[in-house]
């Protein structure tokens, strides 16, 4: 765990923490760019997981339907 300065108040916080213990700001250890990157990564991961599941699900429904 590395310490970063909170981007809201400057207090030292863990990089991975979700809320600053001092000011309560969200994701204090991440820069805006890192948050965007995490969001994109999460979206990509969801797409990779959900699309095959959706295809599989659709295949099952089609099989039941006829």
Q: Are 17 and 28 in contact (CB under 8 A)?
A: yes
For the CB of residue 42, give the shortest distance to Zn ion in the complex, in Å.
23
Contacts with Zn ion, 14-33, as mask; x by CB under 5 A? ------x-xx-x--x-----
Provide the 10 A C-beta neighbour count for residue 57.
Answer: 11
- 2 CB burial (10 A radius; 0-12, 13-18, 19+): exposed
Q: Does 7 bind Zn ion (CB under 5 A)?
A: no
Judged by CB under 5 A, does residue 8 bind Zn ion? yes
Residues of this chain that interact with Zn ion (CB under 5 A) are 6, 8-9, 11, 20, 22-23, 25, 28
């Amino acid at each position: 765990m590395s310490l970063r300065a909170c981007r809201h108040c400057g207090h030292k916080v863990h990089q991975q923490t979700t809320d600053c213990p001092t000011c309560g700001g969200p994701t204090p250890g991440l820069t805006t760019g890192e948050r965007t990157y995490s969001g994109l990564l999460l979206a990509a991961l969801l797409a990779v997981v959900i699309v095959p599941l959706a295809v599989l699900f659709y295949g099952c429904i089609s099989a039941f339907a006829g």
